[in-house]
Structure 1
């Protein structure tokens, strides 16, 4: 939800690695996510390393690491493609267009190689990233995603949803009561499977919302900088016009010079650009507010459902 500079992300990962080295800080079977206490320590240490007017919150740091983990998964896939070069040298436009057709998210690394976070993420996550779950059954993968999502949001004691394969449910062959119990077990399993699927979709939606909020904040920051530059340019040209007008007045010139006419024309163009930028900034601000509201609403809904 906030813009992290490269040095801040590197420090975040260094602190994460130190905490991750202590197994008592790790809360999931995958050995990646940190417990609540460790996440608090991570956020506190990061804020001490980079004092800010508004310190990072635990949720902001958690979302940033989650996005980095997703990026690492994409990077691992990208690095497995034929012709890949870690430094990005020799990867022409045709190669990147092929990547875009195969996996659009992988194309986001164009112009960002070498990826400076790779070694630290490999130390934390391992050589396979999030895609290591592709070799596991789909239901088990979804279960782990839900477990990790809940632990990121809520704490250490969230129980993992247990899934039982249909083939493992066997009814006693000569017991009617057993048959009824077996049927009930299968129905309960199917209901659990549907619930897990819904939760997995919710988790994916939440992750996408978080990423969109962060990307929108980056875009808004860039637009704000451009708007400030435009204002500075307008002020500079206004001062030039006034100075030129004063010179002409002192000389007693009755007809405005061509230079002054050009300055006024430029000033008018900048004023129009400012007007357009103001409208665009207002539209972006409204969209950003709507996005944040959706993120907060979805988070509250999920917490109420899990509570």
Structure 2
């Protein structure tokens, strides 16, 4: 689980756009960055926002892929009759219709204007149909696999050309920090890594498959531990914000004022966001646990089969 503030997310997209402007940093898909560029992106983001535990490359990559998925949903939403970019004059009936047709888009309710739209349009582009918009599921999966294969090819190429040195994108951190927005990032990514190991057998033989499977088990174990720590951190943040909210409520009660407090309203909004993230993290933890069990079953089955062949 990774927490990204709005300001940090905006900075990530600014850095991504700078790197994306150089065609040599981009994979044939036209959107994803090569390995070397992703390393530069992560280093620059950590420099802009120093943290006790710096972001990893995979965390930053997962964050962008989630934003890309959100942008696809936003593009569909914005194409609907009655849509307003600022969210004004979009009644409950309108949102209920959206939820029935495309449930994921309902997540934008109460979150318009979407502040990441301009930057995502700059990176992904606005021509043609939205990314993965209304495509059959099998076609979506083929597209994902194609881009991942292109990215792996680009990784090999970038490693060969990166011997001359690494150029870092430098920038000072923004002066203002926006309201906290908490998000869970890595669970789905690590679960997909685990499932991909189940079909990793190829022409390199059983040994390569077994080694890949063992590595996936190890990575999934580390990811599960990290996710548990992140969940505890999120609970601590929720408790802290709840305490602050209570202090504000007591202060208003002592003042005997009926005037709504803007600060209190913002504090309650933050609590709501964190509560939703806790709910999502709970579901993600269950999904990841199931994926880990499947991976362990495959690992045990492969180990037993290998022992039988050796005997």
**Equivalent position of 2:80 in the other structure:** 81
C-alpha offsets along residues 129-151 of structure 1, whole Å, 9 cap, x if unaligned?
88345598987654331022356
2:222 aligned with 1:223, yes or no?
Answer: no
Contact 2:35 2:155 in 1 (8 A): yes
**Equivalent position of 1:23 in the other structure:** 23
Return the alpha-carbon distance in structure 1 between the equivalents of residues 190 and 54 of structure 2. Answer: 27
SS in 1 for 2:83: coil
2:188 aligned with 1:206, yes or no?
Answer: no
Return the alpha-carbon distance in structure 2 between the equivalents of residues 84 and 92 of structure 1. Answer: 10
**Aligned-pair distance for 1:110?**
0.3
Return the alpha-carbon distance in structure 2 between the equivalents of residues 135 and 223 of structure 1. Answer: 37
Distance 1:220 1:81, change over 3 A: farther
Distance 1:284 1:37, change over 3 A: closer
Distance 1:54 1:78, change over 3 A: same
**Aligned-pair distance for 1:3?**
1.2
In structure 1, stretches of 5+ residues that fail to align are: 159-201, 235-280, 302-307
**Aligned-pair distance for 1:12?**
0.2
With structure 2 as the length reference, what TM-score do the two structures score?
Answer: 0.54
In structure 2, stretches of 5+ residues that fail to align are: 158-187, 196-219, 247-277, 299-311
Return the alpha-carbon distance in structure 2 between the equivalents of residues 221 and 130 of structure 1. Answer: 39
Please list, as runs of the form range in 1=range in 2, the aligned pairs for 1:236-247 lying within 5 A after superposition: none
Return the alpha-carbon distance in structure 2 between the equivalents of residues 137 and 6 of structure 1. Answer: 32
C-alpha offsets along residues 269-303 of structure 1, whole Å, 9 cap, x if unaligned?
xxxxxxxxxxxx9x9999776655556788999xx
Distance 1:71 1:223, change over 3 A: same
Return the alpha-carbon distance in structure 2 between the equivalents of residues 136 and 20 of structure 1. Answer: 26
Contact 1:87 1:114 in 2 (8 A): yes
2:8 aligned with 1:12, yes or no?
Answer: no
Contact 1:73 1:128 in 2 (8 A): no
C-alpha offsets along residues 36-65 of structure 1, whole Å, 9 cap, x if unaligned?
000000000000000000000000000000
Please list, as runs of the form range in 1=range in 2, the aligned pairs for 1:45-84 lying within 5 A after superposition: 45-84=44-83
**Equivalent position of 1:124 in the other structure:** 123
SS in 1 for 2:130: helix
Contact 2:42 2:60 in 1 (8 A): yes
Return the alpha-carbon distance in structure 1 between the equivalents of residues 124 and 280 of structure 2. Answer: 36
Distance 1:233 1:290, change over 3 A: same
Please list, as runs of the form range in 1=range in 2, the aligned pairs for 1:92-111 lying within 5 A after superposition: 92-111=91-110
C-alpha offsets along residues 170-210 of structure 1, whole Å, 9 cap, x if unaligned?
xxxxxxxxxxxxxxxxxxxxxxxxxxxxxxxx999739x99
Distance 1:216 1:14, change over 3 A: farther
SS in 2 for 1:131: coil
Return the alpha-carbon distance in structure 1 between the equivalents of residues 109 and 229 of structure 2. Answer: 21
SS in 1 for 2:236: helix
Return the alpha-carbon distance in structure 2 between the equivalents of residues 50 and 71 of structure 1. Answer: 24
Contact 1:85 1:91 in 2 (8 A): yes
Computing the radius of gyration from Cα coordinates, the structure with the larger value is: 1
The structure with more helix, counted as a fraction of residues:
1
**Equivalent position of 1:41 in the other structure:** 40
Contact 1:88 1:114 in 2 (8 A): yes
Q: Relative contact order: is structure 1 or structure 2 higher (C-alpha 8 Å, sep ≥ 6)?
A: 2
Return the alpha-carbon distance in structure 2 between the equivalents of residues 215 and 78 of structure 1. Answer: 31
